[in-house]
């Protein structure tokens, strides 16, 4: 199953429309699979509209993409007859080989865009490998397939090496068994293999459609080199675990059953589904593999929508709480302590351990709550606060509550990040830009904080000759202006006070002339 995400937006007078397009449709082989028409909706439902944006791609730096599929949690009435979960490409709507996918989009005034995409679909066809016999002179094995196979290509590869080389002088005999309704291919090749090599078989079926590559082990487990396997992802499926990673777990028999539960791909990667306990897991792949798996499972937690769950770091100082409305989808969350690799310039400091939560690219619904407790020695310092590591690789201030009884920072988050407590003891800078005001030019001042930042104008106060006055604040350009109409003729004293997000406060006075 898969879905299509498209970077698509509307323009009016050369400016991008932040509300994107108005109508959209997706058709597969002329059958309507997905439709949407955005009309008015309550601001309280804005988070549901965000489900149509591909959060994962955006978090990976690929800007804003629209998902042409309706998320199962999206209850907005904009999707016509498209059911929740509709728009997915699958065996139900794709045929073997080439399919035509058409995406249509319109703006509010009926201007239409149409995009046609060819999608090549290959159905999974299990092929079993049997009777592997490797001698000093020859290599023999049998392929069993429900389909008649087309071209067969044989190559050898060495575990740990991503390059496969041709295996010459291979012959085979094909037979069809009408009772078992399968085709058998008895393969014979000179055994010119490098010791410990694996044979890769690439085959086609139907109209020259490729099968997934097959891998044949040529010897016993004892003669294969001990190539380390690195686990990259672990996803629970009921009582089983789907494990993916790099390398070759050395269990030849499991790769030759044809069950589809264990396979190699890209020459140097593996995928396997096995039954294993979450505590002290035991697999056929050896102690080193089991130790890796145990570490993954120890920091990998299943969070289910509608249920409440709290996770805590090994040292007990960091917690992550998911209320019942935290998620749209079931999420497998990782929590652990990591060494800090991003350090702010002096005198700003990282004061606590860094706690990693993942996955970073999955959207939350109403969010989770993080809490980080620090010792008295840190809590008493000036300018300490809770921070997260941004996608740009720098620390960003996270608005939080601080419990002085427990020395705990707490905040709600809508994405999973790296978190730590940092110190910012430096107040913002206020500088004069223009101290002479006239009918056409206001008095202007620079105002900027170098670390924790300032969120809004409520953190700024301006007085003219001791009386509060209105001002204009531009947080993107880092300046404020006092309009000429608020200044009396002649000279005035303008006092500007501000505090950054860490609580550092500064006041500066300037003499301003109005002409």
Q: What is the CATH number of the domain that holds 204?
A: 2.60.40.1850
Query: Domain holding 470: CATH number?
Result: 2.60.40.10
Residue 480: Cβ-neighbour burial (10 angstroms; 0-12, 13-18, 19+): buried
Q: Report the distance separating Cα 324 and Cα 337, nearest Å.
A: 25
- Going by C-alpha positions, the residue among 261, 265, 296, 262 that lies closest to residue 278 is 296
Q: Are residues 351 and 368 in the same domain?
A: yes
Q: Are residues 340 and 364 in the same domain?
A: yes
Q: Are residues 15 and 45 in the same domain?
A: yes
Task: Print the domain residue range for 294.
Answer: 230-298
Strands (E), 307-417: 309-312, 318-322, 331-338, 349-350, 354-358, 368-373, 384-389, 395-397, 401-403, 408-413
The CA R_g of the chain, rounded to the nearest whole Å, is 31
For 376-387, letters b (16+ CB in 10 Å) and e give eeebeeebbbbb
End position of a domain, from candidates 201, 223, 245: 223
Q: Are residues 399 and 339 in the same domain?
A: yes
For 118-151, letters b (16+ CB in 10 Å) and e give eeebeeebebbbeebebeeeebebbbbbebebee
Q: Are residues 256 and 203 in the same domain?
A: no
DSSP classification of residue 86: T
Q: Are residues 89 and 12 in the same domain?
A: yes
Q: Are residues 346 and 361 in the same domain?
A: yes
Would you write out the chain's pLDDT as a tens digit for each of its 515 residues?
788 888 887 766 555 555 568 899 999 999 999 999 988 778 888 778 778 888 888 888 888 889 999 998 888 889 989 999 999 998 889 998 899 999 999 888 888 999 999 998 887 777 878 888 878 788 888 888 888 998 899 988 765 566 778 888 899 999 998 888 889 999 998 876 666 677 888 888 888 888 877 777 665 443 334 455 788 878 766 667 788 888 766 554 444 443 345 566 665 677 777 776 767 787 767 788 888 888 887 766 888 899 999 999 999 999 999 999 999 888 888 898 988 888 898 899 999 999 999 988 888 899 999 999 999 999 999 999 999 999 888 999 999 999 999 999 999 999 999 999 999 999 999 999 999 999 999 999 999 999 999 988 999 999 999 999 999 999 989 999 999 999 999 999 999 999 999 999 999 999 999 99
pLDDT of residue 465: 97
Number of domains, the chain: 5
End position of a domain, from candidates 121, 149, 164: 121
Q: Report the distance separating Cα 164 and Cα 88, nearest Å.
A: 35
Quote the pTM value: 0.73
Q: Report the distance separating Cα 334 and Cα 324, nearest Å.
A: 18
Residue with tokens 């993954």: 296
pLDDT of residue 474: 93
pLDDT of residue 239: 65
- Going by C-alpha positions, the residue among 498, 508, 503 that lies closest to residue 461 is 498
Q: Work out the end-to-end distance of the chain between its first and last CA atoms, rounded to an integer number of angstroms.
A: 70
Residue 227: Cβ-neighbour burial (10 angstroms; 0-12, 13-18, 19+): middle
Helix (H, G, I), strand (E, B) or coil at 287: helix
Q: Are residues 56 and 105 in the same domain?
A: yes
Q: Are residues 289 and 352 in the same domain?
A: no
Residue with tokens 């035991």: 282
pLDDT of residue 196: 63
End position of a domain, from candidates 69, 104, 121: 121
Residue with tokens 């907005």: 76
Adjacent-strand bridge partners of 152? 203
Q: Are residues 391 and 292 in the same domain?
A: no
Q: Are residues 406 and 445 in the same domain?
A: no
Q: Are residues 320 and 386 in the same domain?
A: yes
- Is residue 473 a contact partner of residue 480, using CB atoms and an 8 Å limit? yes
Q: Report the distance separating Cα 264 and Cα 200, nearest Å.
A: 10
């Amino acid at each position: 199953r898969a879905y299509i995400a498209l970077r698509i937006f509307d323009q009016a007078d050369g400016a991008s429309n932040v509300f994107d397009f108005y109508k959209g449709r997706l058709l597969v082989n002329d059958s309507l699979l997905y439709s949407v028409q955005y009309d008015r909706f309550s601001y309280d439902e804005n988070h549901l509209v965000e489900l149509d944006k591909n959060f994962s791609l955006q978090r990976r730096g690929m800007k804003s993409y629209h998902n042409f599929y309706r998320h199962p949690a999206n209850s907005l009435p904009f999707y016509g007859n498209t059911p929740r979960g509709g728009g997915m490409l699958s065996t139900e709507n794709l045929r073997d080989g080439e399919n035509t996918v058409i995406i249509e989009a319109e703006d509010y005034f009926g201007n239409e865009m149409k995009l046609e995409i060819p999608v090549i679909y290959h159905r999974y066809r299990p092929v079993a490998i049997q009777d592997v016999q490797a001698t000093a002179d020859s290599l023999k094995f049998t392929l069993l397939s429900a389909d008649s196979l087309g071209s067969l290509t044989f190559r050898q590869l060495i575990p740990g090496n991503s390059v496969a080389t041709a295996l010459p002088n291979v012959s085979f005999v094909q037979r069809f068994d009408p009772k078992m309704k399968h085709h058998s291919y008895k393969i014979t090749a000179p055994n010119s293999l490098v010791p410990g090599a694996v044979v890769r078989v690439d085959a086609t079926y139907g109209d020259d459609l490729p099968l997934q590559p097959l891998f044949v082990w040529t010897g016993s487990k004892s003669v294969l080199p001990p190539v380390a396997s690195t686990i990259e992802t672990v996803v629970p499926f009921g009582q089983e675990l789907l494990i993916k990673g790099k390398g070759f777990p050395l269990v030849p028999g499991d790769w030759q059953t044809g069950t589809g539960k264990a396979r190699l791909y890209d020459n140097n990667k593996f995928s396997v589904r096995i039954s294993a306990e979450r505590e002290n897991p035991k697999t056929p792949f050896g102690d080193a593999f089991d130790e890796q798996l145990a570490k993954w499972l120890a920091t990998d937690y299943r969070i289910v929508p509608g249920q409440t769950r709290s996770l805590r770091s090994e040292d007990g100082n960091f917690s992550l709480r998911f209320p019942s409305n935290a998620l749209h989808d079931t999420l497998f969350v990782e929590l652990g302590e990591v060494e800090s690799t991003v350090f702010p310039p002096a005198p700003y400091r990282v004061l606590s351990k860094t706690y990693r939560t993942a996955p970073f690219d999955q959207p939350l619904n109403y969010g989770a709550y993080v809490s980080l407790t620090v010792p008295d020695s840190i809590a008493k310092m000036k300018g300490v606060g809770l921070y997260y590591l941004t996608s740009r690789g720098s620390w960003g201030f996270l608005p939080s509550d601080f419990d002085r009884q427990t020395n705990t920072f707490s905040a709600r988050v809508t994405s999973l990040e790296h978190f730590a407590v940092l110190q910012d003891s430096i107040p913002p800078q206020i500088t004069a830009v223009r101290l002479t005001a006239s009918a056409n030019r206001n008095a202007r001042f620079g105002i900027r904080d170098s670390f924790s930042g300032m969120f809004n104008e409520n953190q700024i106060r301006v007085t003219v000759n001791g009386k509060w006055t209105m001002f204009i604040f531009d947080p993107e350009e880092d300046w404020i202006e006092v309009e000429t109409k608020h200044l009396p003729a002649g000279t005035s004293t303008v006092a500007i006070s501000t505090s950054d997000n860490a609580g550092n406060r500064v006041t500066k006075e300037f003499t301003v002339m109005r002409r």
